[in-house]
Each structure stands twice: as C-alpha cells, then as structure tokens.
C-alpha cells in the first residue's frame, strides 16, 4: 500500500497553478501510526508515543503559523464508515480547514515555525489525504 504523508512536488506545482487569491477549503483525512516514527536525529526518537499523541504535538506547535495564515478549522469529525470508496481507507480523523487564499496556505507551509512543527505530523501519520476545494460559485 502506498502511504501518502507529505505533498508531492508535482502536486505543489499544480497547487501553485490554481488561483491563489480566493478562499479555499482543505479536506483532511488522516490515519495515525500505532507508534510515532521520528527521524534519527530528532530529540523525540527515543520517546515511545502513539501517532495520535504526536499529531496533538503537531497541532499545538502548528497553531500559531496556522492562525497567522488566516487558517480556520471549520469542521472536525471521526469517520465511522466508508459508504463509497476503498474500505481499506479507514481514517482516524477528518477535518476541513479554511484559508483566506491559496497563497496563505503556501505561506504557512514556508513558515519556519510550521516547518519545525511538521516533523510531528510526519512521525504521527501513516497515511492521509489532503484535498483542495474552491467554493461553489467562486
């Protein structure tokens, strides 16, 4: 099974080709690792924490860059059943984040504080989906 944790370069390039001056919603589907997997040089390498706990660290440390970018979490839920789609794509959490513009989202990704926080997400997540959506009529 292919795991998707970080955006691929070609996906970021395609993102940059879309309009960057209007609000966007990002649908997030996330599956956690049973145990967080940190890189060898990271201070958390010898800590045994669950992926869900590492994701909480990510959310806490990424909160300021998310807010600076104008991000707003508009919905969060726990997926219960996939009615249409692959059954092996079970998710631990789903949420929708809204950004004032596509440019604001990219700005957040470049934020040095965000770049430090994202290591917790990478350690926490075994698989994910991140789907950019524009508003209907926009």
pLDDT at 1: 57
Q: Report whether 107 contacts 43 (CB < 8 A).
A: no
Specify the pLDDT at position 138: 58
The Cα 134–Cα 40 span in angstroms is 39
Structure tokens belonging to residue 119: 């290591």
- pLDDT tens digit string along 55-85? 999 999 999 999 999 999 999 999 999 999 9
Residues in the chain: 138
Domains in the chain: ranges and CATH: 36-134 (3.30.70.100)
**Other CB atoms within 10 A of residue 33 CB:** 18
Q: Which residue has the tokens 């440390």?
A: 61
Q: What is the per-residue pLDDT across 85-119, written as a single tens digit (0 to 9) for each?
A: 998 889 999 999 999 999 999 999 999 999 999 99
DSSP, residue by residue, 55-98: HHHHHHHHHHHHHHTT-EEEEEE-----SSS-TT---SEEEEEE
Residue 129, token pair as written in the block: 């989906």
């Amino acid at each position: 099974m292919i795991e998707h944790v970080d955006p691929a370069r070609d996906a970021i390039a395609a993102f940059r080709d879309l309009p960057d001056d209007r609000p966007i919603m990002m649908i997030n589907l996330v599956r956690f690792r049973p145990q967080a997997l940190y890189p060898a040089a990271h201070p958390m390498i010898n800590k045994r924490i669950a992926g869900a706990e590492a994701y909480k660290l990510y959310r806490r440390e990424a909160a300021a860059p998310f807010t600076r970018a104008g991000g707003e979490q508009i919905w969060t839920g726990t997926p219960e059943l996939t009615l249409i789609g692959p059954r092996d794509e079970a998710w631990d959490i789903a949420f929708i984040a809204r950004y004032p513009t596509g440019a604001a989202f990219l700005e957040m990704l470049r934020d040095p504080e965000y770049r430090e926080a994202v290591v917790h997400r990478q350690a926490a997540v075994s698989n994910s989906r991140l789907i950019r959506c524009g508003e209907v009529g926009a």
